[in-house]
Chains A and B, each alone.
Chain A
C-alpha cells in the first residue's frame, strides 16, 4: 500500500519538458488547472485532455506512470463522480427515478466532466514532479516566492524543509514497513476490527516512527552543519534556472489554449 505513493518520484531525462525552466513549469501547471476548470464543454475539455497526453508523449515518461499516479486517488475520483451523478438536478424528466435515486442527463454530463477534470489535474501535476528533480522544484518555488521575503516570510527555510521532506519520504516509508513487520511479529493486529480499534493499533507504529524521525533529524542537522550550512544567505546553486525561448513558446501555446477555451465557452 505504501509503495503506491508516487509523490515526489522523479524520472531523470532529457526531453523538452525536462529541460523547461521549472518556474515556468509550476506557473504553467497552475494555468493548466485554470484551463481545466474554465472548460465547460466537451470540445474544450477534450482539447485540454489531448494537450496533457501530448505533453506526456513529448516527456518520454512511460504511459503506465499516468495510471500509477491515478491509482491512489481513485476513491476520491469515484466519490466525486457518484455525488455529481445523484445530486445534480436538471430540467426536464429524470432519466432514472427509482426509490430515492434520481439521475438527470445533466448529472451524467457533470459526472463525466468531473472525472475527466480530476484525472487531467492529477496527471498534469504528476508530470511536473515526474520531470523535475525535487531540489530544482523547491528551488523554483523558492524563487517564485522570493518577493515574500520582504514581508519576513522565511522562504529559504520553507524550501529547505520541502527538500528534506521529499528526500525522507522513501526512507520513512521503508521504516514504517519495517516497524509494521516488527509489531506484527510481536502479535500486533493491524488489519481487523472497527475504525477505532484500527486507529488505536496505529499508535505502536507511530511512536517508534516519530522517535526515529527525531533522531534522524538531529543527525541530519549535525551533518548539515559539518558541511558548512548556514541558511540561505550567500548560498549558490549547482543548477541555474534560465528561461529559454522554448519556455515562452510553450507558455504562448497554453495561453492560446486558454483563449480558445474562453471563446469556446462564450460561443456554445
Chain B
C-alpha cells in the first residue's frame, strides 16, 4: 500500500497557495495541518447508579497525517468511528490516550482552543441545526462576530464567504426559505467566514436531494482547488469519495485502508467485507474481470470506463475474428 509521505503529497501549486496564505494573513509553516498520534477514544459505559463499569471503544490507536491543501475523504459504515474521529480534529472531543495536533498545536491546549477551532472549521449533517440567525448574512457573520472583529472586516468576510459558496444574491433571504443544498452552502459560508485553513465536513450531503448534493460537492471541490483549503470529507457515498485525492477507510475504530481512490476502489472484495460499496462502474469492471476479461479495476468514472473499453475492444475483435 502506498503511504502518504511528504514527497508524494499532491500539493496545490505554490503560487496559488501563497496567494491564499496572503489573503488569510498566515504563513505557510509545516506540511501537515492535522497530525494524529496514536489516538484512542472510548465512551464510558455506566451502570444505573452512574458508576463507570467499562468503555465502548470507538477509536483505537489512530495515527494519521493530513497535509495542507489535500482533499481527503473518510469512508466507513455507521459506527465505524469516522464522525468521532472528525470531532477530534478541532478539539470538540479529546482522546483518552494519544494526541491530535493542528498546525503543531496540541488540541488539548485550553488556551489555544479558539485558534484551533478557527483553523479547522466544521460543518455538520443537518443544515437546519447549524444556522443560528434567521437572515443569511447575519448567520454568516456569527463566527467573525465571535472572533471580535471590527464591523467593516466582518462585512468584508461575509461578502467574501457568500461569494465563495455562490450564495451572495441570497444574503438577505430568510434561511428557512432556502432549499437544503442552499442551506448547507450557507453553513459552509458560515465556517469560511472564519478563514479556516481546513474544513471538516461530517456527512454534509446525507440529508440532501441529488441536486443539493451536487451543488454542495461542487462548492467543496472549489474551496479546495481555488482557495487551497484542506478538506476532510466524511461520507458514505462512494461517488463523493471517488472525487477526493485520498481516501481513508475506517472500520471498528481503525484505519484499514489509506490510499488514492483508484487503488482503494479496485479492492472490491475487501470493501464489501467491511460493508461498503464501490462506485457502479468499478463494480461493473470487477464483474467483467471475474468473467475473464482483462479489465483494469482502476476505473472510477464513466470516462475511465470508456477508455478502458476502447483499449480492450480492438484486441478482442482481433482474437475473435
A interface with B by C-beta (< 8 Å): 8, 10, 12, 133-135, 163-164, 166-167, 170-171, 174, 215-216, 219-220, 222-230, 234-240
Q: Is the CB of A10 within 8 A of B129?
A: no
Residues in B176-233 with C-beta less than 8 Å from chain A: 176, 187, 190-191, 194
Describe A's contact surface by its main secondary structure: helix
Q: Is the CB of A219 within 8 A of B146?
A: no
**Central interface residue in B124, B126, B134, B154, by most chain A CB within 10 Å:** B134
Shortest distance in angstroms between B11's beta carbon and chain A's nearest beta carbon? 26
Quick one: closest B residue to A218, CB to CB? B129
Q: For chains A and B in complex, what number of residue pairs have CB atoms within 8 angstroms?
A: 105
B interface with A by C-beta (< 8 Å): 90, 92, 114, 117-118, 121-122, 124, 126, 128-135, 137-138, 141-151, 154-155, 158, 172, 174-176, 187, 190-191, 194
Q: In the complex, which of the residues B134, B141, B154 contacts A166, with contact meaning CB atoms closer than 8 Å? A: B134
CA distance in complex: A10, B134 (Å) = 9
Which of chain B's residues have a CB closer than 8 A to the CB of A133? 134-135, 138
Which of chain B's residues have a CB closer than 8 A to the CB of A237? 145, 151, 154
Which of chain A's residues have a CB closer than 8 A to the CB of B187? 223
Which of chain A's residues have a CB closer than 8 A to the CB of B141? 238
Pairs A-B, 3 closest by C-beta atoms = A223-B130, A238-B141, A219-B129
Contact status of A227 and B128, CB under 8 A, knowing A235-B145, A236-B145, A238-B158: no
CA distance in complex: A174, B174 (Å) = 15
Q: Is the CB of A236 within 8 A of B149?
A: yes
Contact status of A226 and B90, CB under 8 A, knowing A135-B133, A166-B134: yes
25 contacts between A and B (CB under 8 A): A133-B138, A163-B133, A167-B131, A216-B128, A216-B129, A219-B130, A220-B129, A220-B130, A223-B124, A223-B130, A224-B132, A226-B117, A226-B121, A226-B191, A227-B121, A227-B142, A227-B190, A227-B194, A228-B114, A236-B145, A236-B149, A238-B141, A238-B145, A238-B151, A238-B155
Q: In the complex, which of the residues A220, A227, A234 contacts B148, with contact meaning CB atoms closer than 8 Å? A: A234
Shortest distance in angstroms between B178's beta carbon and chain A's nearest beta carbon? 11
CA distance in complex: A224, B143 (Å) = 8
Quick one: closest B residue to A133, CB to CB? B135
Q: Is the CB of B129 within 8 A of A223?
A: yes
CA distance in complex: A195, B128 (Å) = 34
Contact status of A134 and B129, CB under 8 A, knowing A227-B194, A228-B143: no
Q: Is the CB of A227 within 8 A of B191?
A: yes
CA distance in complex: A239, B67 (Å) = 38
Shortest distance in angstroms between B162's beta carbon and chain A's nearest beta carbon? 12
Which of chain A's residues have a CB closer than 8 A to the CB of B133? 134-135, 163, 167
Q: Is the CB of B129 within 8 A of A238?
A: no
Which of chain B's residues have a CB closer than 8 A to the CB of A164? 132
Which of chain A's residues have a CB closer than 8 A to the CB of B154? 236-238
Shortest distance in angstroms between A243's beta carbon and chain B's nearest beta carbon? 16
Which of chain A's residues have a CB closer than 8 A to the CB of B176? 170-171, 174
Which of chain B's residues have a CB closer than 8 A to the CB of A224? 132, 142
Q: Is the CB of A236 within 8 A of B151?
A: yes
| Extra A-B contacts (10), CB below 8 Å, given A222-B92, A223-B124, A223-B130 | A8-B134, A10-B134, A10-B135, A170-B176, A223-B129, A225-B117, A226-B90, A227-B194, A228-B146, A230-B146
Q: Is the CB of A227 within 8 A of B124?
A: no
Contact status of A227 and B134, CB under 8 A, knowing A170-B176, A236-B154: no
